[in-house]
């Protein structure tokens, strides 16, 4: 950047750079000329060498396989995505068709090698929208990374189901070479919804991809859209049944129960909605997706789930589970550990049970009436948060059965991918 004496110099300088948006000294948003420019991946600079953010330098990864907390670094090695899911902002960013471009595996490994000379890190978060697009590139990257620092580095990234399935037989090798977590764009649990979102996979493909990760003890980041404006009540039930079939009802994060599809500008779902309501939605801020839920039952289920359960209780539920984990880690009593572990399984099923009951209610009523177990749960949570004697509380273990094995932003949750 040249030396700039004042804000007018700055404005003149920014004006010369195509596709720039900035706020000038008078607080006005300015745009430079629009130009169809894309820097070829071969000319990208090593992003890790401009690594000044204090927040990023405090990044960690919890490695469950090696049972350690690793210092981490994050970077992106590709842009765009070859797919075109109907809700995804990437579709709008690459308007003329999906244009995925990426640095070569060797370049990526060389970037990381160069960064190792300046920073201390043991894990690499690869933040690409869809890292697993080219199988040979992933395999070459993983092999190359394993040659750095005596093979002690680990990594995580994201994939869509189709690409993950193409590499499933190589997963054991990738794990040995450091793969620890894959964020999967599963999104929904029924074919009608997968087709609506243009996911180009089947429900069985989704289950197979999750099982392949589980079988190899690779942690899963579950991208899931439980609700959207065009949905039917049965589709919420289908999503819940899918979570059971895929064995993720005890998934560590609860986000997937609460995500609602965001209506990003330039996406097919937003165009369709604008056509059906006969007006263009404002570009100034993202609309509240819940305002556009069309089906009365879905609207009611969503409002009750978010306003009467998630907002007042989700934070407390998470705190109660953490509190149990703390006691568990300090206790020497096997029976107390067993009771608290079971209690946490019971607690982890609460969002599922609440949403299941709401989706099956014959008529609308307060949440405590629709969900018979609701007050058992809330009493247990309160008692755990005000615990005095852990052993006594553990004996309160709940008599009600649980469901088996196991997303937040927007108003509570939103998602892009």
Give the residues lining the site for ligand SF4 (CB under 6 A).
Answer: 81, 83-85, 88, 90, 129-130, 160, 185, 417
CA atoms within 13 A on the CB side of 111: 24
Q: How far is the CB of 200 from ligand SF4 (least distance, A)?
A: 9
Q: How far is the CB of 87 from ligand SF4 (least distance, A)?
A: 7
Between 160 and 239, CB nearer to ligand SF4: 160
Q: How far is the CB of 36 from ligand SF4 (least distance, A)?
A: 20
Q: How far is the CB of 100 from ligand SF4 (least distance, A)?
A: 9
What does each C-alpha distance from 222 to 129, 188, 250, 406 come to in angstroms?
A: 14, 10, 12, 11
Between 185 and 351, CB nearer to ligand SF4: 185
Pairing of strands 179-187, 154-159: parallel
Supply the Cα-derived Rg of the chain in whole angstroms.
Answer: 24
Q: How far is the CB of 325 from ligand SF4 (least distance, A)?
A: 32
Is-contact 155 180, C-beta < 8 A? Answer: yes
Between 82 and 113, CB nearer to ligand SF4: 82
Residues 187, 408, 153, CA angle at the centre, nearest 5°?
75
Between 185 and 407, CB nearer to ligand SF4: 185
Question: What are 141's two structure tokens?
Answer: 């990257």
Between 127 and 148, CB nearer to ligand SF4: 127
Between 185 and 406, CB nearer to ligand SF4: 185
DSSP state letters, 321-371: HHHHHHHHHH---HHHHHHHHHHHHHHHTHHHHHHHHHHH-SS---HHHH-
Can you tell me the distance from the alpha carbon of 73 to that of 112, in angstroms, rounded to the nearest whole number? 9
Q: How far is the CB of 217 from ligand SF4 (least distance, A)?
A: 24
Maximal C-alpha separation, the chain: 72
Interacting residues of 376 by C-beta distance below 8 A, sequence separation 6+: 398, 400
Q: How far is the CB of 334 from ligand SF4 (least distance, A)?
A: 44
Between 85 and 126, CB nearer to ligand SF4: 85
Can you tell me the distance from the alpha carbon of 317 to that of 319, in angstroms, rounded to the nearest whole number? 5
């Amino acid at each position: 950047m040249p030396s700039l004496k004042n804000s007018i110099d700055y404005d003149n300088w920014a004006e010369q750079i195509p596709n720039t948006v900035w706020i000038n000294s008078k607080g006005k948003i300015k745009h430079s000329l629009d130009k169809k420019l894309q820097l070829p991946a071969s000319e990208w600079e090593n992003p890790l060498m401009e690594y000044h953010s204090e927040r990023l330098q405090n990044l960690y990864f919890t490695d469950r396989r090696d049972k350690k907390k690793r210092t981490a670094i994050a970077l992106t090695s590709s842009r765009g995505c070859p797919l075109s899911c109907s809700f995804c902002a990437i579709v709008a960013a690459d308007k003329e068709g999906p244009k995925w471009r990426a640095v070569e595996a060797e370049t990526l490994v060389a970037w990381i090698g160069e960064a190792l000379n300046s920073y201390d890190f043991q894990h690499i978060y690869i933040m690409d929208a869809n890292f697993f697009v080219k199988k040979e590139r992933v395999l070459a990257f993983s092999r190359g990374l394993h040659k750095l620092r005596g093979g002690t580095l680990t990594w995580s990234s994201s994939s869509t189901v189709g690409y993950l399935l193409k590499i499933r037989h190589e997963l054991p090798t990738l794990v040995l070479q450091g793969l620890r977590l894959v964020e999967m764009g599963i999104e929904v649990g029924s074919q009608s919804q997968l087709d609506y979102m243009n996911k180009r996979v089947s429900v069985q493909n989704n289950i197979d991809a999750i099982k392949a990760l589980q079988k190899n003890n690779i942690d899963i980041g579950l991208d899931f859209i439980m609700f959207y404006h065009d949905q039917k009540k049965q589709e919420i039930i289908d999503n819940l049944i899918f979570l059971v079939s895929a064995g993720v009802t005890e998934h560590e994060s609860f986000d997937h129960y609460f995500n609602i599809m965001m209506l990003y500008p330039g996406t097919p779902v937003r165009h369709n909605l604008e056509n059906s309501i006969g007006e263009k939605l404002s570009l100034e801020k993202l609309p509240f997706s819940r305002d556009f839920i069309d089906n009365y039952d879905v609207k009611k289920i969503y409002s009750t789930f978010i306003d009467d359960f998630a907002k007042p209780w989700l934070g407390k539920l998470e705190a109660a589970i953490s509190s149990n984990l703390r006691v568990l880690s300090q206790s020497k009593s096997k029976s107390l550990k067993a009771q608290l572990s079971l209690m946490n399984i019971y607690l982890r099923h609460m969002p599922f049970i609440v949403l299941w009951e709401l989706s099956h209610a014959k008529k609308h009523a307060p949440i405590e009436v629709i969900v018979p177990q609701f007050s058992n749960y809330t009493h247990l949570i309160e008692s755990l948060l005000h615990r005095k004697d852990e052993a006594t509380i553990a004996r309160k273990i709940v008599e009600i059965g649980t469901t088996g094995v196991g997303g937040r932003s927007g108003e509570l949750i939103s998602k892009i991918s």
